[in-house]
């Protein structure tokens, strides 16, 4: 089977970095482009971090485009308190030498979707949905050309991580999320309900380090860095590897379970802005628009991740 074509839209972020490495290590996937968006840290850092990650994986052939530097209608909120000042705090990695690809990320998304056969490109958003929503607003013809959107964002039973009600990626740009959730595209949503079950442990981090490669070392050191925040906040043994769930789902969907339900985004309420209102119990007649993932085989997920990272 030919590899599945994907675009990774991202705001790296240590967990974004692990997701990107997992994709680059996996022959089942062809990464057509990495498109950076403002999120965990401002755009000048997320686009730089995306190039650092490609260089770490020795994949300077991947086009990296810089995209939107702020949400559609709001001031940017960032998460240095989780990811550190650079967004990739932890290991010391060299500044990238590979250049940014010319052209705005939004134009790259539009061009790729128009160029590739209809239904052959999957979008993998790992950050706020600003680039994706802007592309849909600017070029509505591309919407029907998208094969699927598999994203990290939202929360329902697990409630919020940036406010009591909202998960970070959706909170940062709820208007963009609303556009994407209403697009009619087949959505697979990896919310905190599942990512908070993809927890690192000492043994899992040491397995990364034991790979003995620059990639294994970097992943272990990234994880060491961002673990401190979640361990303190949740009292958990480790930290959730949110964004790699998206890529692992593409590789092995059997590791995940969920329900096809309606999911809508709250955009107006100051108290619950960015909340993903998931009709898990089917109490409305709103049509299902997403597969909302709720569970993961976490042991198999970490085995897959470690086995793939070993290839880089
Ligand atoms: C999401 O927010 C970011 O901090 C992570 O990279 C992940 O995409 C988790 O809420
Ligand atoms: Ca992210």
For 114-126, the pLDDT digits (tens) are: 999 999 999 999 9
pLDDT at position 230: 78
Region 267-284: mean pLDDT is 97
- Mean pLDDT score of the chain, rounded to an integer? 97
Is 0.95 topped by the overall pTM?
yes
Phi/psi for 157 (5° steps) reads -65, -30
Per residue in 49-104, pLDDT (tens digit) is 999 999 999 999 999 999 999 999 999 999 999 999 999 999 999 999 999 999 99
| Those residues with Cβ within 8 angstroms of residue 60's Cβ, 6 or more apart along the chain or in another chain | 54, 97, 98
- Please choose, from the candidates 77, 8, 18, the residue with its C-alpha nearest in 3D space to the C-alpha of residue 47: 8
Atom of ligand 1 nearest to the CA of 168: 10
**Strands (E) located in 45-184:** 64-66, 121-125, 146-152
Helices 214-234/14-24 angle, 10° precision: 140
Per residue in 104-162, pLDDT (tens digit) is 999 999 999 999 999 999 999 999 999 999 999 999 999 999 999 999 999 999 999 99
Query: How many separate domains does the chain show?
Result: 1
Q: Is 161 in the pocket of ligand 1 (CB under 6 A)?
A: yes
Q: Is 169 in the pocket of ligand 1 (CB under 6 A)?
A: yes
Identify the band that residue 237 occupies on the pLDDT scale cut at 50, 70 and 90.
Answer: confident
CB 130 within 8 A of CB 68: yes
pLDDT at position 280: 97
Percent helix / strand / coil, the chain, rounded to 5: 40, 20, 45
Residue ranges making up the domain that contains 267: 4-309
Catalytic residues: 242
pLDDT at position 202 over 90: yes
Tokens of 185: 């595209």
Per the listing, tokens 């994407």 go with: 180
Output the CA 260–ligand 2 centroid distance in Å. 23
Output the CA 38–ligand 2 centroid distance in Å. 10
CATH of the domain at 296: 3.90.245.10
Q: Is 152 in the pocket of ligand 1 (CB under 6 A)?
A: yes
CA distance 233 to 121: 37
Q: How far is CA 72 from the centre of its chain?
A: 19
- Find the radius of gyration of the CA atoms of the chain: 18
pLDDT at position 145: 98
State which of 9, 13, 227 you would mutate to test the pocket of ligand 1, scoring each by most atoms of that ligand within 8 A of its C-beta.
Answer: 13
pLDDT at position 273: 98
pLDDT at position 231: 79
Region 202-218: mean pLDDT is 97
pLDDT at position 32: 98
Atom of ligand 1 nearest to the CA of 82: 4
pLDDT at position 233 over 90: no
- Where would I find the H helices in 77-191? 80-83, 105-115, 130-138, 168-172, 174-181
Q: Is 15 in the pocket of ligand 1 (CB under 6 A)?
A: yes
pLDDT at position 74: 96
Q: How far is CA 217 from the centre of its chain?
A: 22
pLDDT at position 238 over 90: no
Phi/psi for 161 (5° steps) reads -120, -15
State which of 14, 21, 39, 156 you would mutate to test the pocket of ligand 1, scoring each by most atoms of that ligand within 8 A of its C-beta.
Answer: 39
Atom of ligand 1 nearest to the CA of 155: 10
Helices 174-181/130-138 angle, 10° precision: 60
């Amino acid at each position: 089977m030919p590899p599945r074509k994907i675009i990774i839209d991202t705001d790296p972020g240590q967990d974004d970095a692990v997701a990107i490495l997992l994709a680059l290590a996996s022959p089942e996937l062809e990464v057509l482009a990495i498109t950076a968006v403002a999120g965990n840290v401002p755009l000048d850092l997320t686009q730089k971090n995306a190039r650092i990650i490609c260089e770490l994986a020795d994949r300077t052939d991947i086009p990296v485009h810089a995209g939107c530097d702020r949400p559609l209608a709001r001031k940017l909120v960032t998460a240095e308190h989780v990811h550190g000042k650079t967004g990739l705090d932890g290991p010391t990695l060299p500044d990238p030498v590979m250049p940014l690809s010319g052209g705005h990320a939004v134009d790259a998304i539009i061009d790729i979707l128009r160029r590739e056969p209809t239904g052959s490109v999957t979008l993998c958003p790992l950050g706020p949905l600003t680039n994706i929503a802007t592309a849909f607003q600017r070029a509505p013809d591309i919407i029907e050309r998208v094969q699927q959107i598999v994203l990290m964002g939202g929360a329902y039973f697990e409630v919020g991580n940036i406010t009591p009600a909202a998960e970070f990626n959706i909170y940062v740009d709820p208007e963009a999320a609303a556009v994407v959730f209403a697009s009619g595209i087949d959505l697979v949503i990896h919310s905190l309900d599942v990512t908070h079950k993809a927890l690192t442990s000492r043994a899992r981090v040491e397995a990364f380090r034991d790979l003995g490669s620059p990639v294994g070392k970097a992943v272990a050191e990234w994880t060491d860095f961002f673990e401190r925040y979640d361990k303190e906040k949740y009292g958990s043994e480790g930290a959730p590897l949110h964004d790699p769930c998206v890529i692992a789902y593409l590789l092995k969907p059997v590791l995940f379970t969920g329900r096809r339900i309606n999911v809508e985004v709250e955009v107006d309420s100051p108290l619950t802005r960015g909340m993903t209102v998931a009709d898990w119990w089917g109490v409305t007649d709103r049509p299902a628009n997403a597969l909302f993932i709720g569970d993961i085989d976490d042991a198999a997920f970490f085995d897959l991740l470690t086995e793939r990272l070993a290839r880089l």
